[in-house]
Amino acid sequence: MRDIKFPIRIFAATTLGLLFMLPLQARGLPDFTDLAERNAPSVVNISTKQQLIRRHRQPFNIPDLQDFPEGSPLGDLMRKFFGNHGFQLPEEGSEKRSLGSGFILSEDGYILTNNHVVEEADQILVRMNDRREFVAEVIGKDERSDIALIKIDADDLPVVEIGDSERLKVGEWVLAIGSPFGFDHSVTAGIVSAKGRNLPSENYVPFIQTDVAINPGNSGGPLFNLDGKVVGINSQIYSRSGGFMGLSFAIPIEVAINVAEQLKTRGRVTRGWLGVLIQDVTNDLADSFNMDHPRGALIARVLPDSPSEKAGLRVGDVILVFNGTKIATSSELPPLVGGSNVDKPAELKILRNGKTKQVKVNIGELPSDDTLELAGNRAPKVSENRLGLMVSSVSEPLRRQLKLPSRRGVLVESATGQAAREAGIQQGDIITMMNNREVEGVEHFNRLVKELPADKTVALLVHRNTGPIFLALRVPEA
């Protein structure tokens, strides 16, 4: 019996082990070899040259280095960092080189890459997978999307197949081919970490976030799905060291192709424009607007002569839906507006004074520069109010720069009250709206403060050097 039981135990253990391993094998890593082999010829290495202009040494007010004893540690340190009273900068005629990647869109030589790869380049050199080299010309560049279209004089080139980034799912495998640190046609793989990411300096690109290893030189290279189709352009990384840290961002291919077609046909890119400055709705602001939960894009300013002003949108409106798409956070709105057709109507659902309303806006074209600078003189101070705010009237020069109506808003001279400090009100802020009512001056402001409901949260619209912003203020008990 013992001779029989032993083999049975071995057989049972082996069977269970095989059954346990089958799911692991089914979930194994995909084979990228065929994908890489098929698409490598369509990916190019891009190097650029830029002539540098002569610049003089920048003087520093430091002692003459000859005054330090030879071999002294301090003298060696000063010589290492300052040389002869300054940094030696490149001389005229020297070159600055940069490396990047790109991929071939058409057999006749159109190539897509990042704007920052070819920006300010005097010469662009494209090297193919078969080691052939071509000098490229720039067809067009778009700084806002970081897309550039270049062209080489060649025929019958291998081209990539364009995919659909909208169908990408979080957790899906993706692969990048590029030239990190100049190592041509390096292949790295990872998964989609998130979609629709909006970076602080990029308002019109809903980035694809991945954990694909991306480093300097990968910029402009393609991001493939497992079908071997391009779904994005590797553009940026989040890093504290300058190298890969697990956070990479790619431009969706639909955005890139749209920009490339406009650059090819018109030489420039047009984007839709509402003409509003927006911010997120926080929990406190949602409470002050009687919203069940934070959502939408809160309008902090309506620019003069803009499509929004003409459509009747107001400061304090919350945009909940844009052309049928729900807006969860304010960062979701700019890409939707930017991708809209100019001079075409858009349907908005907004929240105004606790009620929803449908508004139709005729989309305008995004201006080249929409910045606003704040400046002005201080006016005489007035006494504090129950919020601990000392305010004064707004000077006319400042009012003109803000394009505020006459007698609109008050200038914060100091914020000493606890409620004001907790709300984030700062000296120099200009309060133009409080509790959904426009502030018409110092006396009106103090009257509004007295009428505020105790122990309730109200919204304040303030203007500061970074632009208008809503703040949530908890009114102290009387």
Q: Which residues are catalytically annotated?
A: 116, 146, 219
> At residue 356, what are phi and psi to the nearest 5 degrees?
-85, 150
Residue 53 and residue 115 in contact, taking contact as beta carbons nearer than 8 Å: no
Distance CA 412, CA 288 (A): 22
DSSP string over 385-430: -TTSEEEEEPPHHHHHHHTPPTT--EEEEEE-SHHHHHHT--TT-E
Nearest-angstrom CA–CA distance, 128 and 134: 8
191 beta partners: 173
Enumerate the β-bridge partners of residue 418: none
Q: Which amino acid is at 328?
A: A
> How many angstroms separate the CA atoms of 439 and 461, rounded?
10
- Alpha helix segments (H runs only) across 27-146: 33-39, 73-82, 115-118
Residue 319 near residue 327, CB atoms below 8 Å: yes
The number of beta carbons lying within 10 Å of the beta carbon of residue 139 is 15
Residue 197, SS3 per DSSP: strand
Main-chain dihedrals φ then ψ at residue 97, nearest 5 degrees: -115, 145
248-252 and 207-210: which strand pairing?
antiparallel
**434 within 8 A of 444, measured Cβ to Cβ:** no
Kindly state the DSSP code that residue 332 receives in the 8-state scheme.
G
* Closest CA relative to residue 165, chosen from 238, 91, 258, 76: 258
Dihedral, CA of residue 174, residue 144, residue 206 and residue 467, to nearest 10: 150
What is the rounded end-to-end Cα distance, in angstroms, of the chain? 91
Instruction: Give the list of residues 6+ apart from residue 186 with CB closer than 8 angstroms, or none.
Output: 177, 178, 179, 180, 218
